[in-house]
Amino acid sequence: MKLLANIPQDIKQYLIVTGNYWAFTLTDGALRMLVVLYFHHLGYSPLSIAMLFLFYEIFGVVTNLIGGWLGARLGLNRTMNIGLALQVIALLMLAVPSEWLSVVYVMAAQALSGIAKDLNKMSAKSSIKMLVAQGQEGTLFKWVAILTGSKNALKGVGFFLGGLLLTLLEFKGAVLLMASALALVWFYSLHALKSDLGKAKVKPKFTDLFSKSPAINTLSAARLFLFGARDVWFVVALPVYLSQTFNWDHWWVGGFLALWVIGYGGVQSLAPKVIKRSDRPIAPSEAANWAFALAAIPLLIAIALYANWFIQTSIVIGLFIFGVVFALNSSLHSFLIVNLADADGVSLDVGFYYMANAMGRLIGTVLSGWVYQLYGLEACLFISCAFIMLAGAISLKLPKLQH
């Protein structure tokens, strides 16, 4: 307790924000797996399942843009608490009789969940900039990697939790349990989060929503294609393919994808040791080189599926290799945005960047259901390869970073 008492107030606040982010991430990952598996079980087509996430991703785009502005004006503690409250409401909206769960109704609940998720992400990621001294590039990369990696590992646990809760408690019981647990976290956060961490010294105007930095714009464009490339086959196509083609049940699908995301998060946490091997500033070519290496993986998996060559082995091994290289790409990108962001009102730049991230997820999610339904998993993988190549080409224009 004495050790905790000696921790600076800003760091205490950041630790609480991070704990909130972790708790939220568990429910977010579990809810995504619950929705995919439950509505697939009800007989929804892959495209219909993708549409359930449409508002989640659309409102994520809007939230990241406006949320960064709100964070700079109100403080990151307030945006975090708003996000937690909205996620509790979204979960309770789904705890209704199954006959009420129309596509439009679930899309509305997912819209609230998308707003909540991106308010939480923006709050947590922006906070790091306040805690690391200017010029401490290695320390910043390490802190960003730990936060991002731990979040994604917990999201993987959430995938497993979603499959487990669906099996044990069914859909309604699962969302009620998650809503109750997250409400407790929210009540604590209302009491504990008192700092105005991240509030800009000068109140930003609404016109400041859009980034005027060429570096932020370039990185945001690369991020859009990078995450579109992941979600075009991971969000809907892959879970449905595993269930249909391999006849895996909820436990197997949820558990397998959970292990993938947990491993992905672990690699993200180790990314600084792999990517930054010296004291030299990270060159823009690093982001491009890692992207080009990643592009080969979905291409090889697609060729294996097309040739009917050890399909199950190719998907399982290929997916884990993809996870390792994608994690390095994602962690490098997360470091770059925090490094390049303006320290005063950092949430503006971070919010704009994650708006592009949400746009990529939106495009990938819609394509995941539509392309899979019409052309199969191979087509999703070919599109993934093309998107990653675009992300790499755009990354070549990133400026050099300074100490």
How far apart CA 300 and CA 264 sit, in angstroms, is 20
- Cα 234 to Cα 150, 315, 389: the distances in Å are 20, 12, 18
Q: What H or E segment, with its residue span, contains residue 55?
A: helix 54-74
Q: Do the Cβ atoms of 29 and 159 come closer than 8 Å?
A: yes
DSSP 133: -
* pLDDT for the residue numbered 216: 86
How far apart CA 207 and CA 221 sit, in angstroms, is 20
Which two tokens mark 249?
Answer: 């049940």
DSSP 201: S
Which two tokens mark 133?
Answer: 């001294």
Which two tokens mark 22?
Answer: 């972790």
Please identify which residue in the block is written with the tokens 């109140």.
Answer: 203
Nearest Cα to Cα of residue 88 among 10, 207, 155, 184: 184
Side-chain-facing half-sphere of 225: CA atoms under 13 Å: 23
Q: For residue 313, how many other CB atoms are within 10 A of its CB?
A: 10
* pLDDT for the residue numbered 1: 44
How far apart CA 368 and CA 256 sit, in angstroms, is 19
Q: Do the Cβ atoms of 360 and 224 come closer than 8 Å?
A: yes
Which two tokens mark 241?
Answer: 């393919």
Residues in the chain: 403
**173-193 pLDDT tens trace:** 999 999 999 999 999 998 887
* pLDDT for the residue numbered 363: 93
Q: For residue 281, how many other CB atoms are within 10 A of its CB?
A: 14
Contacts of 244 (CB under 8 A, 6+ apart): none
* pLDDT for the residue numbered 201: 58
Nearest Cα to Cα of residue 282 among 336, 329, 205, 337: 336
Nearest Cα to Cα of residue 160 among 272, 53, 299, 34: 34
Side-chain-facing half-sphere of 384: CA atoms under 13 Å: 33
How far apart CA 91 and CA 171 sit, in angstroms, is 11
How far apart CA 67 and CA 118 sit, in angstroms, is 8
Candidate CATH numbers 1.10.1740.10, 3.40.190.10, 3.90.76.10, 1.20.1250.20; the one for domain 8-196+203-395 = 1.20.1250.20
Nearest Cα to Cα of residue 364 among 208, 231, 272, 176: 231
Which two tokens mark 235?
Answer: 């969000």
**225-246 pLDDT tens trace:** 999 999 999 888 998 898 888 8
Per-residue pLDDT of the chain (403 residues; tens, 9 = 90+): 454 556 666 667 667 877 888 899 999 999 988 988 888 788 888 778 878 888 888 888 888 778 777 777 777 778 889 999 999 999 999 999 888 888 889 999 999 998 998 888 777 777 666 666 566 666 777 777 777 778 778 888 888 888 889 889 999 999 999 999 999 999 999 888 766 665 655 555 555 555 567 888 899 999 999 999 999 998 889 988 988 888 887 678 878 888 888 888 888 888 888 876 555 666 667 889 999 999 999 999 999 999 999 999 999 999 999 999 999 999 888 888 877 776 555 667 777 888 888 899 889 988 998 999 999 999 999 999 999 999 999 999 988 755 4
* pLDDT for the residue numbered 207: 56
Nearest Cα to Cα of residue 235 among 349, 321, 155: 155
pTM here is 0.76
